[in-house]
């Protein structure tokens, strides 16, 4: 028989929906509140617990992996399968095995990412300098800790660092590793957090230790005198810029230029690249060279191949007959990643707070950290010695009257009372009495007694010595110095990355191989550009344009000419005519703002200048009646800068812009109807690009300058009465000027 439903509402109250407050109700919440509540904890976690290294030189993922290997006995034992280490590490690092194994790969000797690898590896671990050379699965490779890890874990079991529970409280792990040398500067460390990143370049271990020792002895030590510059595991050459290096060492920010190492095999007419910049890969270099060959910028190369094998990196470049290898390499350095930059950003966690520091401050922080480690070790050892001395002193009291001790033990009826009776008989505590009670009968002889008494004396001397060291900061620092000297002697190596200097750089004209031939350049009012050969223009001269657009500038030039595009935001963008493809009049052309990637979406190109020698002047006319005459040389740069800001003044609205190679006559007209003609030789030129110029036309009331155009010979002849010999001028009005208003000038 079915049970009747209860009339009591208590069952209804216990339904799941009854416990969900505001279920199904949409509540408005500010986006800022949502970000603070949901995103900020994640951001903090990434910054503090994942992406940035700490003063010991490690991120949490590195530390957890190395400590797991240490606990597995891999510091002295044989290699084990990488999969075993990965699985064990998951007890500390609750991420996927793939992420843990990738971390191991980057720490390994086989991969070559670190100047001093921490993992001694066997098998295929890929290569740092190759994008496509994949590492083998963890079940195929074997690892153990490299001998240098002895310096990472020295005295870790002597309370030198704090330990915290792992994520499930099943074990503990160190918060930092008590490294005896500044690993934070010796091995490269890169990480991207939320809103910040870290990029620490590696320095030579011997130089870092020497610098640290010098800084301990003299706080005003000049860092650059001992720490010359970064030392990358891949070798190569670094451009030594004294000012840039001082900035990096002082602030922790800056960049260094790295260049590949090569040799030329004359018999095979082949260049062999054997070392490349740390920040690039073999594949990136080869792809870029192939691209340059295809577009015709590099014509001296017949073939390129990757010959990297077990002997190391090698890129072979076969040259065409008659090619100068040194000249070609200097060109490749400028056009390809064979020369690249490494950006430095020494952002390190100090006490859980990210901080960008120079090398000196980093070393000072490390010295403070290491002082704490040494003090904690000495206090640990002191406590052990004091405990042992306490036992020996208790033993000493017993040894003064062994017969009494034996008698107490023999006359004690119950074993549990032996300790308490010894305490009463000799006035010792329970710890001492327990120790005495455990002494074997065979040790109750003269030799044993004398040894224990001597040991007590030695222990007291050692305790006094340790207490003396603990009371002296100088002596603690001396210990750090001795450890640094030991590390430098044992693990120091010559520099991999050598230096080259500015006077070693050979300037090469990269554009010399650009084919030069006659072209017609067209620039429209809407900002479209066309480069057309004379042959193509003869076949079809009718231009395709957007509705309402028209050709503003037409120049006959060559393919190697420089082009300057002035914009409505007082900027000028520079490029070469060769950077545009040849086209036909029947196509729309290339939209300049898109082709040159203008800064702002609505920035427009308003004028074009073509030049090879940067001779002549730019004329700028403003509606307030002022005009500026600026030499085109002011826009010439030694480097290939794409954009120049402050190309002209923006304080008054621009009315007209003209490029002239020599002085010309200009017809100026105002909104008042007045006009005059003057020669530009009356204007003094200004070398500052954004100059406001000089007053050329005097305007009265609210009248503004309307136009400024070049006056040809016919115009000058017909409007002779409008010519002036001095400026500024007011101008005159007349019917003949009104007639010229109807013309397209």
Provide the domain count of the chain. 5
- Interval 273-286: pLDDT, tens: 999 999 999 999 99
Q: At what angle do helices 359-399 and 473-491 cross, to 10 degrees?
A: 110
* Pairing, β 498-500 against β 237-239: parallel
- Looking at the fold, whether 624 and 595 belong to one and the same domain comes out as no
- Let me know: does 506 contact 326? Beta carbons within 8 Å: yes
How far is residue 70 CA from its own chain's centroid?
A: 31
- Interval 310-358: pLDDT, tens: 889 999 999 998 899 999 999 999 999 999 999 999 999 999 999 999 9
Whether residue 563 is contained in a domain is answered as: yes
Catalytically annotated residues: 140
- Looking at the fold, whether 373 and 486 belong to one and the same domain comes out as yes
- Looking at the fold, whether 295 and 327 belong to one and the same domain comes out as yes
- What confidence tier does 440 reach under pLDDT thresholds 50, 70, 90? confident
Whether residue 433 is contained in a domain is answered as: yes
Return the minimum-mean-pLDDT range out of 437-451, 499-513, 546-560, 577-591: 499-513
Whether residue 538 is contained in a domain is answered as: yes
Whether residue 42 is contained in a domain is answered as: no
- Looking at the fold, whether 673 and 700 belong to one and the same domain comes out as yes
H/E element holding 593? helix 592-595
Tell me the residue length of the chain.
745
H/E element holding 579? none
Q: Where are the beta strands (DSSP E) in 41-90?
A: 80-81
Tell me which residue has tokens 């750089």: 505
pLDDT at position 146, please? 97
Q: How far apart are CA 389 and CA 395, in angstroms?
A: 10
Whether residue 570 is contained in a domain is answered as: yes
- Looking at the fold, whether 377 and 293 belong to one and the same domain comes out as no
Q: How far apart are CA 414 and CA 420, in angstroms?
A: 11
**Largest alpha-carbon pair distance within the chain?**
143
Domain termination residue (choose one: 286, 317, 337): 337
Q: At what angle do helices 359-399 and 242-251 cross, to 10 degrees?
A: 50
Name the token pair of 527.
């900002």
**CA distances (Å), origin 345, targets 90, 186, 413, 489:** 31, 15, 75, 29
Domain that holds residue 77: 58-178
Q: Is 661 helix (H, G, I), strand (E, B) or coil?
A: coil
- Looking at the fold, whether 598 and 627 belong to one and the same domain comes out as no
Provide, rounded to the nearest whole percent, the portion of the chain with pLDDT above 90.
66
128: CATH: 3.90.199.10
Q: Where are the beta strands (DSSP E) in 237-306?
A: 237-239, 253-259, 261-265, 270-275, 301-306
- Interval 592-602: pLDDT, tens: 998 888 888 88
- Looking at the fold, whether 731 and 627 belong to one and the same domain comes out as yes
Return the minimum-mean-pLDDT range out of 508-522, 566-580, 691-705, 713-727: 508-522
Q: How far apart are CA 576 and CA 585, in angstroms?
A: 20
**Number of neighbours of residue 168 by Cβ within 10 angstroms:** 9
Whether residue 162 is contained in a domain is answered as: yes
pLDDT at position 736, please? 67
Residue 509 has pLDDT above 60, yes or no: no
Name the token pair of 359.
């090398």
Please give the average per-residue pLDDT across 58-82, as a whole number: 95
* Pairing, β 562-567 against β 498-500: unpaired
pLDDT at position 394, please? 86
- Looking at the fold, whether 728 and 650 belong to one and the same domain comes out as yes
Q: Whole-angstrom distance between the N-terminal and C-terminal Cα of the chain? A: 107
For the chain, count helices (H), then strands (E).
Answer: 22, 32
Whether residue 109 is contained in a domain is answered as: yes
Whether residue 567 is contained in a domain is answered as: yes
Q: How far apart are CA 95 and CA 484, in angstroms?
A: 35
With vertex at residue 185, the alpha carbon angle to CA 247 and CA 362, rounded to the nearest 5 degrees, is 65
């Amino acid at each position: 028989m079915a049970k009747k439903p209860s009339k009591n509402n208590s069952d209804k109250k216990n339904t799941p929906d009854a416990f969900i407050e505001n279920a199904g109700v949409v509540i408005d919440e500010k986006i800022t509140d949502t970000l603070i509540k949901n995103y900020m904890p994640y951001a903090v976690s990434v910054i503090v617990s994942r992406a940035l290294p700490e003063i010991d030189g490690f991120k949490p993922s590195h530390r957890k992996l190395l400590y797991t290997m240490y606990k597995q006995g891999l510091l002295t034992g044989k290699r084990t399968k990488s999969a075993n280490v990965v699985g064990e590490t998951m007890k500390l690092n609750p991420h996927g095995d793939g992420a843990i194994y990738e971390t191991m790969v980057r720490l390994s000797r086989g991969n070559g990412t670190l100047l001093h690898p921490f993992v001694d590896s066997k098998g295929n671990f890929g290569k740092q300098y190759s994008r496509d050379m994949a590492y083998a699965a963890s079940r195929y490779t074997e690892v153990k800790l490299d001998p240098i890890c002895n310096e990472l874990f020295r005295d870790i079991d002597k309370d030198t660092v704090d330990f915290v529970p792992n994520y499930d409280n099943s074990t503990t792990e160190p918060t930092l590793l008590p490294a005896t040398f500044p690993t934070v500067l010796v091995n490269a460390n890169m990480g991207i957090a939320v809103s910040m990143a870290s990029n620490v370049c590696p320095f030579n271990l011997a130089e870092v230790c020497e610098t640290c020792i010098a800084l301990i002895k003299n706080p005003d030590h000049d860092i650059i005198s001992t720490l010359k510059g970064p030392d990358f595991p891949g070798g190569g050459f670094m451009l030594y810029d004294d000012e840039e290096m001082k900035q990096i060492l002082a602030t922790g920010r800056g960049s260094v230029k790295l260049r590949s190492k090569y040799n030329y095999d004359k018999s095979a007419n082949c260049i062999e690249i054997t070392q490349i910049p740390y920040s690039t890969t073999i594949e990136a270099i080869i792809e870029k060279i192939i691209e340059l060959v295809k577009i015709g910028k590099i014509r001296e190369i017949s073939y390129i191949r990757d010959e990297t094998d077990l002997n190391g990196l090698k890129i072979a470049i076969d040259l065409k007959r008659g090619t100068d290898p040194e000249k070609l390499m200097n060109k490749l350095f400028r056009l390809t990643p064979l020369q690249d930059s490494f950006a430095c950003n020494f952002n390190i966690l100090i006490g859980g707070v990210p901080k960008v520091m120079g090398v000196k401050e980093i070393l000072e922080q490390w010295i403070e950290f290491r002082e704490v480690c040494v003090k904690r070790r000495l206090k640990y050892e002191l406590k052990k010695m004091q405990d042992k001395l306490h036992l020996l002193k208790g033993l000493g009291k017993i040894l003064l009257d062994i017969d009494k001790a034996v008698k107490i033990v023999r006359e004690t009826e119950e074993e549990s009372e032996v300790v308490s009776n010894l305490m009463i008989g000799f006035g010792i505590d329970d710890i001492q009495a327990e120790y005495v009670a455990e002494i074997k009968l065979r040790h109750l002889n003269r030799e044993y007694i004398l040894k224990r008494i001597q040991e007590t004396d030695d222990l007291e001397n050692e305790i006094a010595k340790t207490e003396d060291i603990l009371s002296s900061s100088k002596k603690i620092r001396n210990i750090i110095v001795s450890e640094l000297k030991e590390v430098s002697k044992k693990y120091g190596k010559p520099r991999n990355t050598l230096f080259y200097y500015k006077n070693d750089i050979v300037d090469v004209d990269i554009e010399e191989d650009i084919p030069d031939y006659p072209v017609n350049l067209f620039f429209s009012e809407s900002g479209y550009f066309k480069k057309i050969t004379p042959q193509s223009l003869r076949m079809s001269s009718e231009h395709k344009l957007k509705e309402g657009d028209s050709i503003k500038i037409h120049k006959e030039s060559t393919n190697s000419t420089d082009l300057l595009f002035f914009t409505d935001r007082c900027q000028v963008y520079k490029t070469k005519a060769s950077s545009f493809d040849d086209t036909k009049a029947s196509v729309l052309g290339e939209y300049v703002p898109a082709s040159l990637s203008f800064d702002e979406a609505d920035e427009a190109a308003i004028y074009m200048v073509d030049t090879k020698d940067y001779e002549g002047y730019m004329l700028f006319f403003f509606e307030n009646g002022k005009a500026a005459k600026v030499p085109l040389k002011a826009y010439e740069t030694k480097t290939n800068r794409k954009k120049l800001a402050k190309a002209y003044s923006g304080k008054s609205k621009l009315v007209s812009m003209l490029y002239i190679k020599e002085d010309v006559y200009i017809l100026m007209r105002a909104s008042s109807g007045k006009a005059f003609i003057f020669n530009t030789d009356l204007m003094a030129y200004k070398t500052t690009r954004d100059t406001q110029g000089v007053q050329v036309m005097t305007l009265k009331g609210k009248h503004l300058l309307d136009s400024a155009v070049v006056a040809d010979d016919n115009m000058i002849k017909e409007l002779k009465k409008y010519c002036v010999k001095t400026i500024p001028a007011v101008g005159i009005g007349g019917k003949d000027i009104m007639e010229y208003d109807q013309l397209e000038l």
